[in-house]
Amino acid sequence: MDGVTVIDHPLVQHKLTLMRKKETSTASFRRLLREISTLLCYEVTRDLDLTTTRIETPMQEMDAPILEGKKLVFASILRAGNGLLEGMLDLVPAARVAHIGMYRDHDTLQPVEYYFKAPEDLANRLIIVVDPMLATANSATAAMEKLKERGAKNIRFLCLLASPEGIQRFRDAHPDIPVFTASIDEGLNEKGYIMPGLGDAGDRMYGTK
């Protein structure tokens, strides 16, 4: 689908399978999510613009490539987004961070917002929003609206698993925002969970169930 990139790197797919397994422990799940997020970060940033800066190596001067423009912003949709955020920050330690506190009401499947904190000047920065799960897309869609209200213009969305319904809904609501995911699964069950999925990402990361 236009605007959707499935990151099919073998290491990503292998680690994702380990994460999906129900017997994978909380500690392993967290470690795998952190590892996978560095690989996903590599893909979601692969076309960033470069400029050059004059440096001196021990041998001679040269014009060496560096990232162009203002520092990136990684925006984590809490809680589970933080599992992706940590690995992303391992790769881009100077990135700015936004936190979007949002949980999905279990009955209505509507997002409930409880926190928002972002750098002030979102308009001039690339913002990569991270959340492992795109299910109904209610949470991600609301998070994008919030960022746009605060001036964000250049946004990408990175998740681990997506449902076909969620991708469609997200792209309809935000056709300007490209989606990167490691898998598009079969669909949603009657409770809005991704099938076959990996269960509740937040609970599996933090051992809360």
Binding stretches for ligand URA (CB under 6 A): 133, 135, 193-194, 197, 200-202
With respect to ligand PRP, which residue has the nearer C-beta, 98 or 137?
137
**Contacts (CB under 6 A) with ligand PRP, residues 12-51:** none
Choose among ligand URA, ligand PRP, none what residue 137 binds, the Cβ cut-off being 5 to 8 Å by kind.
ligand PRP
Tokens matching residue 68:
């162009």
Q: Does 134 bind ligand PRP (CB under 6 A)?
A: yes
H or E segment at 204? helix 201-206
Which has the closest alpha carbon to 84: 50, 141, 44? 44
User: Checking DSSP bridges between strand 50-56 and strand 61-67, what pairing results, if any?
Assistant: antiparallel
Which has the closest alpha carbon to 127: 44, 43, 35? 44
With respect to ligand URA, which residue has the nearer C-beta, 7 or 188?
188
**Contacts (CB under 6 A) with ligand PRP, residues 113-132:** 131-132
Q: Does 139 bind ligand PRP (CB under 6 A)?
A: yes
Q: Are 32 and 24 in contact (CB under 8 A)?
A: yes
CA–CA gap between residue 10 and residue 94 (Å, rounded): 28
Q: Does 80 bind ligand PRP (CB under 6 A)?
A: yes
Chosen residue from 12, 33, 40, 77 binding ligand PRP by CB under 6 A: 77
CA–CA gap between residue 98 and residue 31 (Å, rounded): 22
Choose among ligand PRP, ligand URA, none what residue 87 binds, the Cβ cut-off being 5 to 8 Å by kind.
none
Q: Does 87 bind ligand PRP (CB under 6 A)?
A: no
Which has the closest alpha carbon to 133: 9, 8, 16, 10? 16
- Amino acid present at 113: E
CB of 194 to ligand URA, least distance (A): 4
Tokens matching residue 100:
């979007």
Q: Which residue ranges make up the site for ligand PRP (CB under 6 A)?
A: 77-80, 103-104, 109, 111, 131-140, 166, 192, 200-202
